[in-house]
Amino acid sequence: MKSDLPGRTFAFSERIVRLCLALESDSSVAATLMRQLLRSGTSIGANVEEAQASESKRDFVHKYSIAAKEARETHYWLRLLAKTEVVSPSRLEPLIAEASELIAILTTICKKNR
């Protein structure tokens, strides 16, 4: 059975990019937080994509481990943006939920392949 994870993480990255584009702000605090979110949120899919061409099982686990760490960081930035109301918490709920699911999936894949 082929995994839909590369497509799912790409779609998540797209949602992060669209959120950051929509929320470009003159506030230096908001801009800094958005840059952090953009970096970590798009890195998840990039690392999953790299893992698809891994050279070994160890390399595969390494790439997925990085993706899991980036998912955790993204989850942090999303929660911070919601808590500080830089972005409406209701707007971020679906992204926070998806980040949580990605963390669980990526962590499980890493554990099963170690």
pLDDT at 2 over 80: no
Average pLDDT, the chain: 94
pLDDT at 111 over 80: yes
DSSP assignments along 83-108, one per residue = HTTSS-HHHHHHHHHHHHHHHHHHHH
State percent of the chain over pLDDT 90.
88
Q: What is the pLDDT of residues 57-107, one digit of tens each?
A: 999 999 999 999 999 999 999 999 999 999 999 999 999 999 999 999 999
Which of 47, 105, 46, 95 has the alpha carbon at shortest distance from 74? 95
Quick one: DSSP state of residue 1?
-
The arithmetic mean of pLDDT across residues 31-60, rounded, is 96
pTM for the structure as a whole:
0.93
What residues contact 51, with CB distance under 8 A and at least 6 apart?
59, 60, 63, 64, 67
